[in-house]
Structure 1
Amino acid sequence: MADTTQPIPANAAVDPSRRNLLKTVGITAAAFGAASAFGRPLRAQSSDWDKTFPQSDAVEHSKVEFTNRYGITLVGDLYTPAERPSDAMPALAVAGPFGAVKEQAAGLYAQTMAERGFVTLAFDPSYVGESGGQPRSVASPDINTEDFMAAVDFLGLHEGVDRERIGIIGICGFGGMALNAVAADKRVKAVATTSMYDMSRVMAKGYYDSLTDEQRAAGLEQMSRQRWEDAASSEPALAGGLPDSLDGIDDPVIRMYHAYYKDSERGYHPRSVNSNDGWTVTNPLSFMNMPLLTYIDEISPRPMLVIAGSEAHSRYFSEDAVAAAAEPKELMIIEGADHVDLYDQVNIIPFDKLQSFFEEHLVA
């Protein structure tokens, strides 16, 4: 376990307004005009390359579908090394960030790890992107944890995968979901996270646990009454996404997320939650009373690797998760990196470390 002594940078002020908090967290969502049947993908699938990163000649890519325990159809991108051994291979399920789609950071991680000898599956979680579920633009600590387990189901049934050598990578808010999934799913042999967020903690308590009891109660009051508005409407109200312009906005966290999700040359994607119009107003309700990392110590004796940037506003989530976990565990701090750098900056993301970690621990 790495020693980290640098203080957490206090560069993200907490807005007492619940709606502004959601924007600051970066949990914004895409609103879609087309409806889909419950449990079916939102749109027709295509294997055309529509990612935010270049396609690798060393990897084969295909679109796949699988179903979670709640009957929701999930859509993923399966990446396999173009030159595969005859034996079954180790595999990784990859998801995140919270509000992103598989064409963004998760796909970059998956393709890169496939280049390094793994079968990888980057998938859209329920209610997001090309995956099924109605209504759109919602998340769940339970269902999204289950999404990881369903990805393990799929990989374990794939003929090219050694089902005794499956790991998970969770990015940002799906880092917390990944840790929660592995605590329960004993099939997973190792887990790694980057720029990890504990979504239940930040929604319930605000950044650095600074939300007062009065502010928490006011937020719950607002969302509770919003349920009547949504029930009377044809579709739930949206909280609003990242602003199109940064004019007059000084908040460093909003500016950081904007630089990734709104930049067409970097991370913008038309299906991405965070690139577009916002989660539902009531999205935090289930997270606020259901702590994700309650049983994090039950990941042991399987290893966990937690990676965070030294300048990330979210760094404390990683530090606290590692402190609460049992051995074996490792905290890796990337000097000079902020939260979003670990989404797409390939010269900063420690892929060598991820490769060696999973090669060492994904053993039959």
Structure 2
Amino acid sequence: MSRTRVSFVSAGIEIAAHLYTPGAPASVPWPALVVGHPGTGVKEQTSGTYARLMAERGFVTLAFDAAHQGESGGLPRGLEDPAQRVEDFKAAVSHLTTREEVDPGRIGLLGICASGSYSLAATAGDPRVRAVATVSTAEPARQFRFGADGAQDPAVFQALLAAAARARSTAARGEDPGVMTMFPETAEQAGALGGQHGIDGFEYYCTPRGEHERSAKFLAWESIDRMASSDAFHAIPLIGDRPLLQIIGERAVTAWMAVEAHQRATGPKELHWIEGAGHVDLYDKKRYVGPAVDKLTEYFTEHLSK
């Protein structure tokens, strides 16, 4: 297996990516996967882990940094723009179709966390995608509006919208609007704000377990009002008869979003539960990632066959 730095353009923004290729030479082009990272993540974290493991299983894989994040271009930094995130997936597919080692008729999408929802929207609008799979599906607009567990007081999001509006006015005056910090200073504080899900996120992004210098841990304030009118699940019925697999930890508080996406799908679909796993456990813990990769290999081998 080898890894190469590549780049491509998405809506005028240069996207930085890693292309993973299987070690053994192929007599014919390989099937390929675009692998998207969680919100505030980068390609060197969980998406890179899955891209590497799937390359070892015989797929060309492309893990990229979303526009405005990581090594990719785009201002302001830390912007979570749902429409751009979907466009990034489509642009990644376009890049794969130009590569001689890839069979353009055998391309799938693999989205993790936030990229799970964006990969569904991208598949819905791009018939070049043969199959789509997600791990720990989360839809950022829903998570901000309703909370990770779906039970958040509506006043919380209204307060965020008010803060985002103030930030826009501040920027209009030529002043620094600041950013929305995603994590507190300690795991205890993260638990007080978000329970075990908050602690899990802190332990991945803010400790040596998973942290990376280019994982911003913040959002540009205008991300909030862009998400207010976004619904990445709206177009799921357009996936039609192409297959959909969602892998979810049985303890994930975010599982309700994957269930909703599953209900909206009209074609072949499967919810695959990983025993004992929470949402973030599927990012990097071998005892959970291993079974997930086994299932993904089985799924994409079947649906990206000739």
Question: TM-score of the superposition, structure 1-length normalised?
Answer: 0.79
Matches of residues 73-222 of structure 1 in structure 2 within 5 Å?
A: 73-212=14-153, 214-222=155-163
Per the alignment, do residues 83 and 292 of structure 1 end up closer, same or farther by CA in structure 2, a change over 3 Å counting? Answer: same
Are positions 1:227 and 2:171 aligned together?
Answer: no
Once residues 78 and 36 of structure 2 are traced to their aligned partners in structure 1, the CA distance between those partners, rounded to angstroms, is 16
| Percent of aligned pairs sharing the same letter | 39
Match of 1:262 among 201, 206, 211: 206
Once residues 213 and 103 of structure 1 are traced to their aligned partners in structure 2, the CA distance between those partners, rounded to angstroms, is 35
Once residues 22 and 298 of structure 2 are traced to their aligned partners in structure 1, the CA distance between those partners, rounded to angstroms, is 17
Which residue of 2 is the match for residue 46 of structure 1?
none
Question: TM-score of the superposition, structure 2-length normalised?
Answer: 0.94
Matches of residues 1-364 of structure 1 in structure 2 within 5 Å?
A: 59-68=1-10, 70-212=11-153, 214-247=155-188, 249-250=190-191, 251-264=195-208, 266-274=209-217, 278-349=218-289, 350-364=292-306
Per the alignment, do residues 102 and 240 of structure 1 end up closer, same or farther by CA in structure 2, a change over 3 Å counting? Answer: same
CA RMSD between the two structures: 1.6
Contact 2:15–2:71 under 8 Å retained in 1: yes
- Residue correspondences, number: 301
How far does the alpha carbon of each residue in 1:302-325 deviate from its partner, in whole angstroms, 9 at most, with x for none?
Answer: 000001001111111111111111
Contact 1:322–1:331 under 8 Å retained in 2: yes
Once residues 120 and 207 of structure 1 are traced to their aligned partners in structure 2, the CA distance between those partners, rounded to angstroms, is 29
Cα deviation for residue 249 of structure 1 reads 5.0
Once residues 305 and 178 of structure 2 are traced to their aligned partners in structure 1, the CA distance between those partners, rounded to angstroms, is 47
Once residues 241 and 271 of structure 2 are traced to their aligned partners in structure 1, the CA distance between those partners, rounded to angstroms, is 16
Once residues 246 and 208 of structure 1 are traced to their aligned partners in structure 2, the CA distance between those partners, rounded to angstroms, is 19
| Most deviating of 333-342 and 202-211 | 202-211
Per the alignment, do residues 165 and 248 of structure 1 end up closer, same or farther by CA in structure 2, a change over 3 Å counting? Answer: closer
- SS for the counterpart of 1:283 is helix
Structure number with the higher strand fraction is 2
Once residues 337 and 359 of structure 1 are traced to their aligned partners in structure 2, the CA distance between those partners, rounded to angstroms, is 24
- SS for the counterpart of 2:271 is strand
Once residues 113 and 282 of structure 2 are traced to their aligned partners in structure 1, the CA distance between those partners, rounded to angstroms, is 9
Which residue of 2 is the match for residue 20 of structure 1?
none
Once residues 94 and 42 of structure 2 are traced to their aligned partners in structure 1, the CA distance between those partners, rounded to angstroms, is 20
Once residues 162 and 207 of structure 2 are traced to their aligned partners in structure 1, the CA distance between those partners, rounded to angstroms, is 35
